[in-house]
Amino acid sequence: MKNRYTILILVLLTVKTSVQAQSQTFEDQKINVVNEYLKAAFLGDTVAQSKWLHPEVVDYHTTILRAPSMGKKELIEGWRQSLQLFETIEYQKTSTGLCNLTGFLNGEWVVTYGMVKGKSSTMEKGISYQMTGFYKVENGLIMEIRNFGDSFDIYSKLGYTVNPPKQPALKNTSGH
């Protein structure tokens, strides 16, 4: 009887370890998709970049020059145009993780944080800014992207004139 319990415990531990390894591998796969996408994007390799995007990917970004990109082709073209603003650009990722969000962005997201550095002929010095990205990955493809960076600072340093809106923002009277 004692041997049966020992065998049962060993089987249960093996199954638990196997399930944990598969789960960790699944999380690592999602993070890897985003890492490979970012590497391709900052190298300007649109073929490799395209490999990681769902055909109907949506890219919500904090740029002031264009609306959200709808679909793979539009996202890649918008990114190509953004890269043309710089002579050199690099992304130094400092951390990546997986998180579960509730509310508006409900679900599992790969989150990245890093520093973007770029140079352009319109600047004496290069620019650097922090960027945070949220990536929804499903079935090995990026479905949705939400990047956050200081767009006003970036475009000002690139030589664009950034003016306040002609009409002031509406005052929040609801208390929220």
Question: pLDDT tens track of the chain, all 176 residues?
Answer: 555 544 434 333 444 444 444 555 778 899 999 999 988 888 889 899 999 999 988 887 655 455 666 788 888 887 888 788 778 888 887 788 888 888 878 889 999 988 888 887 777 777 888 888 899 999 999 999 988 877 777 777 777 777 766 776 566 554 44
CATH number of 25-157: 3.10.450.50
* Domain ranges, ordered by start, for the chain: 25-157
Which residues contact residue 83 at a Cβ distance below 8 angstroms, ignoring those fewer than 6 apart? 44, 89
55: left (phi over 0), alpha (psi -120 to 50) or beta: alpha
